[in-house]
Chain A
């Protein structure tokens, strides 16, 4: 294999792929990036066996071929090289980089040892707008569970329908759901449970304006554009019936200035218990009181003006859950709804102008004991 490539293209390709390389692995070949040079292009691939990334970069290919070579080291060297064309060549299992007077050789492993990436037929799948996908991922994936006791919640549920799609994520204590309208297609409906690591790569590697191809092959899902492909293992199982836990009868509604609430909660969080992060919100007419009392530490009180006309209600929350949800609300005001102190509360952005956003976060309260 022999090709000449601009330093920038080599660096971009390596940066895109090396993020998918596991930092610790028992299989040495997984620390490597697979290079495949053919038809005037170089393909680079990396995988941790769950998620794989493949990118295509232009190069002047003089001799086709393939080899795997240590990903992180190549990336570090490329970063330090002067900005001029790099000649990459292989001899046996060694890869050589030359640029000006700089010359480096690394020991690689034969391409055959690299795991084969999932075969996905993109022309038989779905087409989704990159910007829509990015929005869904951004607004929901923070809510996935990191606990291992319920693996199904370690993934984001992605519902693809004709004319719309949704993502839902939850750790069993709080939940985020976002939906967007899509152009009608004749593609069949589908539900996937996708590990957030794969979605992070999608967020990182695809540009918003692109249209992505999405296709499934058995237990794998592929995301593809002209030059980038991301493949992910899907989480198997049935996602819990999230729709059932979204309250429909929350009769108490508060309209809250987001920034003011966020700052007040952040202040309360300082005094809240390190274990529970418990804070207490008391809603009364046009006002919410925030209280925190942590034995052995101290207490805090704050209040902000809100729009609220319902019955007085006191409810406890984990301050971190509340802050997290508020962070993803893009509007100046949020709508918070309740039913009772031990029932789910919802937080939604308040639409500005005619733009309505299908975004809902749900937080389960902390029981107040006194």
Chain B
């Protein structure tokens, strides 16, 4: 049957091209601020305006960040690489060329491993190259009627471009790769990786081929995805389009497709009829970029622990489940925070629960980062210790936690000022239990008739009465004793006898 088998008889071949803005203070080739969001055309100078006679000078920090990234991705960093001019006209490209790298990039090779999933094995995504270049400015077409407005603040901001081999055969793999890459870049601290502000931009090239073959088919480029989920949708949609065209006997045209998130479809980019010919040649204004072996080795020595290594270590060192370690390593900050807490507690699993559940919940609720909570690891560790020692119930401890964040004080202070100490006093507990039994005679009857699961009901009632402060251990003992020792117990017995 042709119809049913068609989609599975083709496999997508997808490669990614990723541009990442580097987190430097100044631009790639001049000392202008590289910050985002300044008034238009204020962070500019002769160099990034492309004034006649201005010349580029390479930013050391941009090279260092690029080298760190290349090393973290397992690329070969070359001792000599060459800047090249990529020539084309565009209003936001001030010199009429972009300074990039071409046939001698900073780094080549490298691999990112996607862990085994859904029965498939580890997938190795090979990297073709990593090079440094400068960003363009911004052309704004919707600000003034029939006019293009040009802002050159972004012109010259340092970028790295990472190109993968076409090693993805499913759109979701591309997304997973990008999640991992983004996490690595954040760990390295080389970029903000903010797709909305454009500090991370991803283009894809897509083709399809008969499953299992290794033939090369015509590919299209897909651009303009502003989130990872849009990227996944765009890839799925473009793959489906390729399959449909091929199935209907059509031919895929080599072209650039612009993803339209609102309509959920990719459309051919118009106005690109001029065949591109970038006329690359070595940038004569910049000598060769030389990186000595010992400088590269030194950079390798200062690389922070990468997410996967950290995950494995958390499992090993603290005995955490893989799931916990995965959540805790989602950001560098969270993992560091967990470790700071875990070092101060005797129960790493309890610390993990508190950090990945309660602390993250408070942070999400307040829309702030962990560090903005002002919750020092020492103080969280104190709180966890109180829970472990039975001085606080879990429920009470949650109240204390939110009080600590609210007031910026210690657990002890919150407990004292808000009276959140666990009530262990037997007289008080017994009084609440008596009151509760008196108010719920029917339930007492049923309990005594053997419906012992009603114990939870009584605990809940007493807890409410105590505003959650009743010591749960003691309460349970008192309740069991009190419910079981009722004088009417004997008369109920014959029913069961």
A, B from the same assembly: no
**A residues near B, CB below 8 A?**
none
